[in-house]
Amino acid sequence: MTNNLTSLSYIKQLSRKYGFKFDKKYGQNFIINPSVCPRIADSAGIDENSGVIEIGTGIGVLTSRLAQRAKKVVALEIDTSLQPILAETLAEYDNIKVIYQDVLKTDIARLIKQEFGDMPVSVRANLPYYITSPIIMKLLEENLSIDNITVMVQKEAAARICAAAGSREAGAISLAVQYYSRPQVCFNVSPGSFYPPPKVISSVIRLDIKKEKDVHPASEKNMFRLIKAAFGQRRKTFVNSVSANLSLPKAQVESALSATGLDLMVRPEKLTLKEFAALSDILLTD
Ligand code: SAM
């Protein structure tokens, strides 16, 4: 099957033909390195029986590769000016449905039910970088029936999202990601692999969704409230940050740390998800 969607001259020809203008506000950096889409689409988890949700089609370079592997691809694209281009570039595929709407305003659970039925579903995308975290958090927090999320993000975002507890980059997002999934950084992609080239290196990350959670706070909501409060003032100790952000007496926060066997001077990035769960059970009981 021929696929010249990574050809810069074809992309420019399409843009001229349909009067398409790259829109920075939508994070439009399209893949032109022919080895990148196969590495995203062909990694474990997609076969002729499975469904894929793609976020942001661009001119359809990844969409078409996914359609060659999967039973069905449903793609969400915010920019309706791509519609005539996609009508041309994806014309040969009868297993792709493009829905022109904002992913952040989409009821994805309903979409999965309507479009995929009982099929195993995963998410693959070269994400618009301006909304990487909101998209990932939406996909995780809605407890969707998906197997994995394999997406391209900025390298720095990948490090934050996949940071292990105790590492310098650990933060509220890495803990949330670990609660819902097993994250890994798969490979890096250079700016020259995109048109127009972004200013930064990119990384493909893979989040394998946990079917069973391995941390069980009394209240998920309270654990995330505590995590948010702890990282609200970076470089502060857990005690100072939490007592300031949740208006709790320092002595109460210190006694929760002691009860959990933790150092009173501990910094939030050193705490594991399990420790946050235990601390929220003690500190936030409403
Ligand atoms: N998949 C294509 C590729 O790799 O060449 C395009 C990737 S480009 C980085 C991001 C795509 O997401 C663009 O097509 C952009 O218009 C689309 N996009 C941006 N914001 C979006 C949103 N809120 N909902 C859906 N799509 C969005």
* Residue 124 clears pLDDT 60, i.e. is over it: yes
**Across residues 94-117, what is the average pLDDT?**
98
Using alpha carbons, select from 180, 184, 176 the residue that is nearest to residue 205: 184
The answer to which of 2-6, 142-146, 184-188, 261-265 has the lowest mean pLDDT is: 2-6
Q: Which residue segments constitute the domains of the chain, with CATH numbers given? A: 2-209 (3.40.50.150), 220-283 (1.10.8.100)
How many Å lie between the centroid of ligand 1 and the Cα of residue 51?
19
Instruction: Say yes or no: CB of residue 26 within 6 Å of ligand 1.
Output: yes
Instruction: Say yes or no: CB of residue 79 within 6 Å of ligand 1.
Output: yes
pTM of structure: 0.94
> Percent of the chain, pLDDT > 90?
93
Instruction: Say yes or no: CB of residue 77 within 6 Å of ligand 1.
Output: yes
Question: 78, 111, 195: which to mutate for ligand 1, most atoms within 8 A of CB?
Answer: 78
**Across residues 248-270, what is the average pLDDT?**
96
* Residue 66 clears pLDDT 50, i.e. is over it: yes
Instruction: Say yes or no: CB of residue 55 within 6 Å of ligand 1.
Output: yes
Q: What is the dihedral of CA 30, 34, 37, 41, to 10 degrees?
A: 160
Mean pLDDT of the chain: 95
Return the residue whose CA atom lies nearest to atom 2 of ligand 1: 58
How many Å lie between the centroid of ligand 1 and the Cα of residue 133?
14
pLDDT of residue 254: 97
Instruction: Say yes or no: CB of residue 53 within 6 Å of ligand 1.
Output: no
How many Å lie between the centroid of ligand 1 and the Cα of residue 57?
6
pLDDT of residue 1: 40
Question: 33, 36, 57: which to mutate for ligand 1, most atoms within 8 A of CB?
Answer: 57
pLDDT of residue 114: 97
Using alpha carbons, select from 129, 123, 122 the residue that is nearest to residue 161: 129
Q: What is the pLDDT of residues 35-58, one digit of tens each?
A: 999 999 988 789 999 999 999 999
| Residue 207 in tokens | 């989040």
CA angle 142, 128, 40 (to 5 degrees): 80
pLDDT of residue 2: 45
| Confidence tier at 93 by pLDDT (50, 70, 90) | very high
* Residue 69 clears pLDDT 90, i.e. is over it: yes
Secondary structure (H, E, C), the chain:
CCCCCCCHHHHHHHHHHHCCCCCHHHCCCEECCCCHHHHHHCCCCCCCCCEEEEECCCCCHHHHHHHHHCCEEEEECCCHHHHHHHHHHCCCCCCEEEECCCHHHCCHHHHHHHHHCCCCEEEEEECCHHHHHHHHHHHHHCCCCCCEEEEEEEHHHHHHHCCCCCCCCCCHHHHHHHHHEEEEEEEEECHHHEECCCCCCEEEEEEEECCCCCCCCCCHHHHHHHHHHHCCCCCCCHHHHHHHHHCCCHHHHHHHHHHCCCCCCCCHHHCCHHHHHHHHHHHCCC
Q: What is the pLDDT of residues 149-187, one digit of tens each?
A: 999 999 999 999 999 988 989 999 999 999 999 999 999
